[in-house]
Amino acid sequence: DELVLQVTAGALLEGDTVTLRCRGRRDTSVTQVRFYHEGKEHWVPAEGTELALSPLGLHHGGRYRCGGKEGMWSVWKESAPVTVTVH
């Protein structure tokens, strides 16, 4: 996987804010970012590589991944899935 989906560390509780960040494995720029929750497109940022979930609810739990283009001439790439658990 060329892209990495980073999730705020620590216990995630209802009402909190969690930020998902999609980045290149070699800190290269990532464009046209898309976030997916349980296989469905969740949110498309106008620009940038972050998705904030706030206020966090139990329905936000599950598997997330991101996709995008890394670098200037890249093809579409996706991250490995990351599980978000809300307590």
CA dihedral over 52, 58, 59, 64, signed as positive or negative: positive
CB crowding 8-19: b at 16 or more within 10 Å, else e: eeeebeeebebe
Measure the CA–CA gap between 25 and 4, rounded to whole angstroms.
6
Given a cut of 90, whether residue 83 has pLDDT beyond it is yes
Q: What angle do CA 48, 58, 6 make, to 5 degrees?
A: 35
Question: Are residues 30 and 63 in contact, defined by beta-carbon separation less than 8 angstroms?
Answer: no
Q: What is the CATH number of domain 3-84?
A: 2.60.40.10
Q: Give pLDDT tens digits for 24-57.
A: 887 788 888 999 999 999 776 667 899 888 899 9
